[in-house]
């Protein structure tokens, strides 16, 4: 028998609602001899208003004692932009060294894509998660004057690039098509771009079976729309990865289906799984949010912990549920969760 220690951070807005359904499906899919010991953490806008805290050190310490973290969504219009994003979400990613931000882009059968011609879309973006402009390296000068200057410096280390590139090659190697595309902008961002390209080419020599490709990020956005079937695994930096994974979600059925994992492959700290979507305050509390992205994030969590069969069963259940939605009225958040829980259980 096994016990999964799970930290749950529902967060803000629809985070609460979708996480409840994710946990429902998790409980339903696990074999009888596997127990979940989950601890819920009250973090986000409510806590910030009540105490001024975003992520206290004591909570950060406690979170370490878990096998994984499930997060709903962070952000609320009542909190200044950046406070919760930097003070909670990014702080977690940095503190737990989540350098592999894994974001699958898969178009399930029956799901409407805005793209013509029913393309086969099944790729995964390996977004670097701990560097780039996200480190907060920058500042302002001459504030409030007409000569004001703001810089936002992108940090790229050989160590940080190599480990994420190596991870992406290994993932490409394990997939049938064995193809890896580096996305950057090395015609303009020559300092970081050349380092990424050089390391990518070096690591490529260790993976002779993987075919490689390079695209500038602007060209990549064209191909996401005109030829998404050309992609298998994509590796890119933190900011380009943020942008292209929203585009990936848009072409694979929308943000309600996009799952992600913030992974620390060494296991030194717990990895964290979350839907790509935000807290959607406009529909919060109405039972309208689609919990599918969270449920698919739970599948990624199980996959990460080695519960491969259970992860696959969730994916199969989601595929069947999505195929059956065609032409039917929308269901509530808990109706979708109930349907998925029933499918994985039976």
Shortest gap between Cβ of 54 and ligand IPM (angstroms)? 13
Residues 42, 18, 259, 267, CA torsion sign: positive
CA proximity to 109, closest of 331, 327, 322: 322
Shortest gap between Cβ of 129 and ligand IPM (angstroms)? 8
Binding-site partner at residue 89 among Mn ion, ligand IPM, none, CB < 5 to 8 Å by type:
ligand IPM
**235-274: contacts with Mn ion (CB under 5 A):** 242
Q: Binding pattern to ligand IPM, positions 237-256, x when CB under 6 A? A: -----x--------------
Residue 12 among known ligand-binding residues: no
**59-88: contacts with ligand IPM (CB under 6 A):** 85
* Residue number closest to ligand IPM, CB atom: 85
Binding-site partner at residue 162 among ligand IPM, Mn ion, none, CB < 5 to 8 Å by type:
none
Residue 290 among known ligand-binding residues: yes
Q: Site for ligand IPM (CB under 6 A): which residue of 71, 89, 121, 259?
A: 89
Calpha distance 11→17 (Å, rounded): 10
290 binds ligand IPM (CB under 6 A): no
313 CA to centre of own chain: 20
**1-30: contacts with ligand IPM (CB under 6 A):** none
Binding-site partner at residue 124 among Mn ion, ligand IPM, none, CB < 5 to 8 Å by type:
none
- Rg (C-alpha) for the chain, rounded Å, is 20
53 binds ligand IPM (CB under 6 A): no
- DSSP per position, 271-338: EEEEESS---GGGTTTT-S-THHHHHHHHHHHHHTT-HHHHHHHHHHHHHHHHHHTTSPPPPHHHHHH
29 versus 244: smaller Cβ distance to ligand IPM = 244
CB-CB neighbours of 195 under 10 Å: 19
Calpha distance 66→87 (Å, rounded): 21
Residues with catalytic annotation? Answer: 134, 185, 218, 242, 246
CA proximity to 222, closest of 244, 206, 200: 244
8 A C-beta contact, residue 234 and residue 250: no
- DSSP per position, 2-64: EEEEEEEEEESTTHHHHHHHHHHHHHHHS-TTEEEEEEE---SHHHHHHHS-SS-HHHHHHHT
Residue 198 among known ligand-binding residues: no
Shortest gap between Cβ of 290 and Mn ion (angstroms)? 17
192 binds ligand IPM (CB under 6 A): no
Residue 228 among known ligand-binding residues: no
- Extract the tokens encoding 185: 């902008």
85 versus 162: smaller Cβ distance to ligand IPM = 85
**Residues forming the site for ligand IPM (CB under 6 A):** 85, 89-90, 242, 276
Q: Which residues participate in the annotated binding site for Mg(2+)?
A: 218, 242, 246
């Amino acid at each position: 028998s096994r016990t999964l220690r799970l930290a749950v951070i529902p967060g803000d807005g629809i985070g609460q609602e979708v996480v409840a359904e994710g946990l429902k499906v998790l409980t339903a899919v696990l074999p009888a001899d596997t127990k979940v010991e989950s601890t819920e953490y009250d973090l986000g806008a409510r806590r910030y208003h009540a105490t001024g805290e975003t992520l206290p050190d004591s909570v950060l310490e406690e979170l370490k004692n878990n096998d994984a973290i499930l997060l709903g969504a962070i952000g609320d219009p009542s909190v200044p932009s950046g406070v919760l994003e930097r003070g909670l979400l990014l702080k977690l990613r940095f503190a737990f060294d989540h350098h592999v931000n894994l974001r699958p882009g898969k178009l399930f059968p029956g799901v409407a894509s805005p793209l013509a011609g029913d393309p086969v879309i099944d790729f995964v973006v390996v977004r670097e998660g701990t560097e780039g402009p996200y480190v907060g390296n920058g500042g302002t000068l001459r504030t409030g004057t007409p000569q004001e200057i703001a810089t936002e410096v992108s940090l790229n280390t050989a160590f940080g690039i190599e480990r994420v590139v190596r991870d992406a090659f290994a993932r490409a190697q394990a997939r049938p098509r064995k193809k890896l595309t580096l996305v950057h902008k090395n015609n303009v961002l020559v300092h970081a771009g050349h380092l990424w390209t050089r390391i990518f080419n070096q690591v490529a020599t260790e993976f002779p079976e993987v075919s490689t490709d390079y695209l500038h990020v602007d060209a990549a956005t064209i191909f996401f729309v005109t030829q998404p079937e050309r992609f298998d695994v994509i590796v890119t930096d933190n900011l380009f990865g943020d942008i292209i994974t929203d585009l990936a979600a848009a072409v694979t059925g929308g943000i309600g289906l996009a799952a992600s994992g913030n992974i620390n492959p060494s296991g030194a700290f717990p990895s964290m799984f979350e839907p790509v979507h935000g807290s959607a305050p406009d529909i919060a509390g109405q039972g309208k949010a689609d919990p599918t992205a969270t449920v698919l994030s739970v599948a990624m969590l199980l996959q990460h912990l080695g519960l491969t069969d259970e992860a696959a069963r969730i994916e199969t259940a989601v595929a069947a549920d999505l195929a059956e939605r065609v032409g039917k009225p929308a269901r509530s958040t808990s109706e979708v969760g109930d349907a998925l829980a029933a499918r994985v259980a039976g």
